[in-house]
Amino acid sequence: MAFSTITDLDVAAAQKKSNELLARLLSTSSETYVTGPVGQGTGERVLVLGGTGYIGRALVPELAARGYQPVLLTRNAEVKNDAEFASAEVAVGDPTRPGDIARLIEAAPVDVVISLLSGRRPNDAEECRLVDHEAVVNGIKASVAGKVRQFIHISDFGAYRPELIPQVYKLQVEGELIGQHHGPLPWTIIRPTAYYPYLSMTFGDVKNGLKYRIFDHGEYNVVNPIAREDLAEFIVNQVLNADALGRVLPVGGPWSEENVVTLKKAGEMMFEINGRTPDWEVVSMAAWDKKIARLTRLGKISKQLKPVAYYLEAAKYWSVVDHVAPAYGTRTLREFMGKLVDREWPTGSFRERMKNGTNVMPTDV
Ligand SMILES: NC(=O)c1ccc[n+]([C@@H]2O[C@H](COP(=O)([O-])OP(=O)(O)OC[C@H]3O[C@@H](n4cnc5c(N)ncnc54)[C@H](OP(=O)(O)O)[C@@H]3O)[C@@H](O)[C@H]2O)c1
């Protein structure tokens, strides 16, 4: 990633730009999409790759409720006994092995394939290649061979500025679908903005009395995140929908005060919900840039430090790149945070838990 070094002028200009964008979004109604379920299935089989994760747990019940038969391929045999997936046919297999998806589709034809696949370690370039690219391409090839009627690729809004490894692979998959590199296959690409847990990672820190970190003013970017239930409804609206074929659909949550935020505003929400006065840990972006440069240099000679450099870059990316897309849904970030307030959070900071591998993301709501 090559961010240039930031000056005082850039710092002030970035805040001005974010506040102008916020004001524009809050005074405009987003009419690209009409919220509400569209389309009903009659038992069509929909294979969801990566369907056991955060979005999958909302998508599978939504598919079933809308008359489709969800089918899952997972590496985890326990999913067969999981009540959350009771409506799905569950096959055990690994999408990174080319034959596993193909055999599943050969055994019983599927109408639609939806990919939510994503590696668990975004700083591991090889895992990203294997999951975010190879496994999805395995799904595309099997879909072409099985004459699947539609392939829906859940990409990432960040693919417009692909500076993190998974986004680069998501963009490659987009190109291969659009260019029909693996054979004829009707496709739909969905680019969601951020999900609520990623804007609420440090909720427990704020609840436990710790500070909230911002870069300078904390207003380098604007995000309209989307609730998984709303995204699930949006995805199912595209299933076998002729209007969605050959389309790239960017989508985020409502353009309202409760849902469109800078990172500082997300922090203010956390303090307010927890009944605290805002208490910021202000880090200068100029100092952060120097830290990234130093660790990137050290990462070239130390295997241990390479992932650290990545996390610093990722923290910067999520703090400076706008993720604003047309609105869908009714749920808001504030409502999501409201659901977190009564729970117990482990002591220590989220960042310390990230370092020792015991991080807790609020992905159960
Ligand atoms: N996080 C965000 O804010 C954001 C924003 C926009 C788009 N997205 C994209 O939205 C999609 C859905 O996200 P999500 O949060 O629901 O994903 P998730 O919870 O991380 O789940 C992804 C699934 O991928 C499978 N998987 C993970 N590592 C694998 C490996 N090494 N080999 C084979 N399969 C593997 C897992 O299935 P099994 O364990 O069952 O095999 C898992 O259920 C992803 O493509 C993500 O990149 C995310």
54, 118, 199, 251, best to mutate for ligand 1 pocket (most atoms within 8 Å of CB): 118
Torsion of CA 49, 54, 60, 63, to 10 degrees: -100
User: What confidence tens digit (pLDDT) does each residue in 74-84 have?
Assistant: 999 999 999 99
Q: Which tens digit of pLDDT belongs to each residue from 135-155?
A: 999 999 999 999 999 999 999
In the chain, alpha helices (H): 8-26, 56-65, 98-107, 125-128, 136-145, 165-178, 196-199, 203-207, 228-238, 263-273, 285-299, 305-320, 333-338, 350-356
Give residue ranges with CB within 6 A of ligand 1: 50, 52-56, 74-76, 94-96, 116-120, 127, 131, 135, 154, 156, 166, 192, 194-195, 198
> Which of 60, 63, 46, 61 shows the shortest CA–CA distance to 104?
46
Q: How confident is the model at residue 124 (pLDDT cuts 50, 70, 90)?
A: confident
pLDDT at 179 over 60: yes
Give the chain's mean pLDDT. 95
**Closest atom, ligand 1, to C-alpha of 198:** 3
Question: What CA–CA distance (Å, rounded) separates 46 from 65?
Answer: 13
Residue written as token pair 């998974």 = 166
Average pLDDT over residues 299-308: 84
Query: Residue 232 Cα, ligand 1 centroid: separation in angstroms?
Result: 14
DSSP type of residue 220: S
Half-sphere exposure of 127 (CA within 13 A, CB side): 8
Which domains are assigned to the chain?
A: 8-26+198-221+256-323+331-342 (no CATH), 45-196+226-251 (3.40.50.720)
Q: Is the pLDDT of residue 4 over 60?
A: no
What lies within 8 Å, CB to CB, of 183 at 6+ separation is 141, 144, 145
Q: What is the CA radius of gyration of the chain?
A: 21
**pTM, two decimal places:** 0.96
How many of the other CB atoms lie within 10 Å of CB of 170?
27
